[in-house]
């Protein structure tokens, strides 16, 4: 198989993966909000698998550029989700949904491989196994990425839910400078790749990705688009 075909297939396999992983993440937030008493998420159709409701253009681009991503945040009623514990449950609902899907599909893939399902990135029946793996990988990737303490991600929202009352001014200032913080993070990631020849994302996602991958796949495995980008958040 030529390098171009390998590149094309690896990129195309991300399409069904993101059409599942991103809606699953946002539906996880919606389900958590519903459990907490916010019925508006169901009324406004956030239990639908229609990807157009959840896909964010920049989040989709990030999937192909960095193998991480995000979707449009599900709006909730502040009067229904107001306490610290409610905020924590709501924020962790998205990553939890990705983890559950990754674990279920991981056990399914391992069972299918034991039954003789071929696994390859060639134009063959083995591509089915590869497609299932990419769905698992992207769910694991979004799970780990969203737990990072970066403003706008679930990990930061968890920190804010716990500590905002102690220092509201700090969190207000951080939120007003979210764009600058993201630009700074992108520059740092780029410079790290340039000078270290490795993905900084792979390093910082290790604490979350490794145990989740071990549970789901029985080992820690990353993914790459040959000749373009790779993400391997596993211990060396």
- Could you list the active site residues? 26
Helix pair angle (14-35, 57-66), 10° resolution: 130
Token pair for 17: 């993966």
Beta bridge partners of 224: 230
Q: How far is CA 115 from CA 46, 104, 110, 219, in A?
A: 37, 17, 9, 19
Classify 229 as helix, strand or coil.
strand
Give dist(CA 173, CA 168) in Å, integer. 9
Angle at 214 between CA 213 and CA 219, to 5 degrees: 95
Give dist(CA 18, CA 21) in Å, integer. 5
Closest to 88 measured CA to CA, from 43, 154, 22: 154
Give dist(CA 39, CA 49) in Å, integer. 18
């Amino acid at each position: 198989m030529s390098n171009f075909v390998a590149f094309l297939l690896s990129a195309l396999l991300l399409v069904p993966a993101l059409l599942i992983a991103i809606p699953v993440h946002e539906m996880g937030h919606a389900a958590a909000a519903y459990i907490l008493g916010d019925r508006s998420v169901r009324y406004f159709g956030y239990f639908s698998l229609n990807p157009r409701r959840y896909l964010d253009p920049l989040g989709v681009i990030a999937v192909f550029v960095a193998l991480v991503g995000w979707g449009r945040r599900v709006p909730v009623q502040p009067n229904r989700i107001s306490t610290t514990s409610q905020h924590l449950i709501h924020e962790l609902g998205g990553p939890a949904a990705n983890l559950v899907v990754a674990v279920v599909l991981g056990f399914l893939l391992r069972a299918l491989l034991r039954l003789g399902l071929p696994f390859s990135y060639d134009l063959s029946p083995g591509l089915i196994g590869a497609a299932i793996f990419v769905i698992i990988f992207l769910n694991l990737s979004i799970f780990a990425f969203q737990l990072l303490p970066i403003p706008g991600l679930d990990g930061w929202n968890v920190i804010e839910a716990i500590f905002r009352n102690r220092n509201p001014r700090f969190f207000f200032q951080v939120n007003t400078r979210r764009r600058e913080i993201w630009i700074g993070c992108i520059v740092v990631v780029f410079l790290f790749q340039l000078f270290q020849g490795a993905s900084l994302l792979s390093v910082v996602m290790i604490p979350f990705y490794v145990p989740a991958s071990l549970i789901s796949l029985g080992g820690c495995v990353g993914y790459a688009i040959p000749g373009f980008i790779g993400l391997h958040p596993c211990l060396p």
